[in-house]
Structure 1
Amino acid sequence: MSEAGHDRAGPARDEALDSFIDKWRARWPEWAVAQAFVPPQQREVALAWAALQQELTDAAWGGSDARPGEAKLAWWMEELQGWSRGLRRHPIGLALQKLPAPWTSLGAAIPSLRESRERPRDRDEAFAALAPFAQAVSEIEAALFAAAPASIPLIQIGLLQARLAHTGDAAVPMSVIARAGEGATTRAWAVELLEHWPRGEASRVRRVWNALARQRLRRGDASLPLPPWSALWAAWRGARG
């Protein structure tokens, strides 16, 4: 990964940064509608923060071989430590590095995210594996969006939905596979997540993200974008809390 061109000055945008944001938008086109319920001054930060989380989780969970992702996560640990010292190499740092958030804590939680690649035994283990990373995410969001720290289970379930959307059956706990049988595992896991959807405080950005994720699960496919009317309704309800 190379040094990103230069900081934004005025209306010019950095193409490298936009490319990472566009990757996230491609998976979540609903944001074009849902962002209407997020304060305008938070939207650009929310996009960059979403892109960073996607880079980390893709590295942790993607691909049939874990080693490339492990190398990328090791790089990110160094990168986030550098952010706390005013240094950056990745384009996403253009939007986030200068913001006063506990980036070092996020980097320190990356090993737990890496270990979460292993298929969990059951729902409890799936949540527990993500607890350290979710704690760091909650602290980051409190700083970025001037909100109370989000309930950790709300972060965890958002991550679990994202993993199901990205990796399908590989995200499903062994207990669900044993119960549901071959061919029905992803739907059974989606139903279980919906049945145990947590409540709690969170920033408006997180509430909207989780509302979209929950509505996807309700419609039966974690990876399938919502129709605009469904995204609008879900985002409105999420923003209301």
Structure 2
Amino acid sequence: MTDDSALDSFIDKWRARWPEWAVAEAFVPKEQRAVALAWAALLQELTDAAWGGTDPRPGEAKLGWWAEELQGWAQGARRHPLGAALQRRPAPWVVLAAALPALRDSRERPRDREEAFAALAPVAEAVAAVEAALFAAPDDAAAPAAIGAGLLHARLATSGEAAAPLSVLARAQAGEGATIWAAELLQYWPRRAAVSRPRALWAELAASRLRRGDAARPLPAWSALRAAWRGARRSPGAGA
């Protein structure tokens, strides 16, 4: 497999979960589109490692590998195909590497919504720092909260009820945990953060899925278009 085809395979895996992006990416400046796809695919690799499977040990090992890989990116080296699109970008890869233990530890079920956001705060701050470098995102103290909400949505979409906090399970009937957690997450969804254009689109697509009652189910094309338009309007300083 060539480097290009290997890179495409990771991007295609992300697109399979987010087919709405075929519509939404038209709102991203052309010069940012390839980087946005690679960055989204990288985040998916990291979160899948943290939360996937019933045995945490393979994911912990993979996150350890990724910590070394990201540190290598900062020194001009790369092994993973996604590095072909990202490694040369002057982003704080070491900061992201340092946040991966917090991502690993976030596999533990939180007690409540506040703890769910707090557990991912170091990761969200690192992601915000990288996105500021990749996309010239505005400096906004509210950005990590918006990113944290997106991470919690990603976990809900892939893990279902296993992502729900204990406080949600305590008041849920059997099988209702994911639905109740989706509604609570949407209720407290950050809406005022100044973030990059790609992040604004991802956030609005995720929130729109929650409004429709299923974090994992893709939006119809027209709904995706409306969501992307709303996200684009809310992202300052980036013309499409």
Give the structure-2-normalised TM-score: 0.95
How many Å apart are 1:5 and its aligned residue? 5.0
Q: Is residue 227 of structure 2 the alignment partner of residue 234 of structure 1?
A: yes
CA contact (8 A) 2:112 2:167 kept: yes
Q: Does 1:48 align with 2:38?
A: yes
Distance in 1 (alpha carbons) for counterparts of 2:227 and 2:59: 33
Decide whether the 8 Å contact of 1:139 with 1:149 is kept in 2.
no
* 1:221 aligns with one of 214, 219, 222: 214
Task: Output the aligned Cα RMSD.
Answer: 1.0
Aligned counterparts of 1:165 and 1:194: Cα–Cα separation in 2: 13
1:170 and 1:124 mapped to 2: Cα distance?
Answer: 17
Q: Deviations over 1:112-136 (max 9, x none)?
A: 0000000000000000000000000
- 1:205 aligned partner, one-letter code: P
| Residue number in structure 1 paired with 2:149 | 157
Q: How does 1:13-92 map to 2 (within 5 A)?
A: 14-92=4-82
Q: Deviations over 1:177-232 (max 9, x none)?
A: 11122111111001001111112111111000000000000001000000000000
- Number of residue pairs matched by the alignment: 231
Instruction: Tell me if structure 1 keeps the 8 A contact 2:70–2:96.
Output: yes
CA distance in 2, matches of 1:169, 1:35: 30
Q: Do 2:27 and 2:232's aligned partners in 1 also have CA atoms closer than 8 Å?
A: yes
State the alpha-carbon separation in 1 of the partners of residues 65 and 108 from structure 2: 21
Paired amino acid for 1:138: A
Residues 1:197 and 2:210 are matched in the alignment: no
Runs of 5+ consecutive residues of structure 2 not aligned to the other structure: 235-240
Structure 1: runs of 5 or more not aligned:
7-13
Moved over 4 A (4+): none
Q: 1 CA distance for matches of 2:185 and 2:137?
A: 25
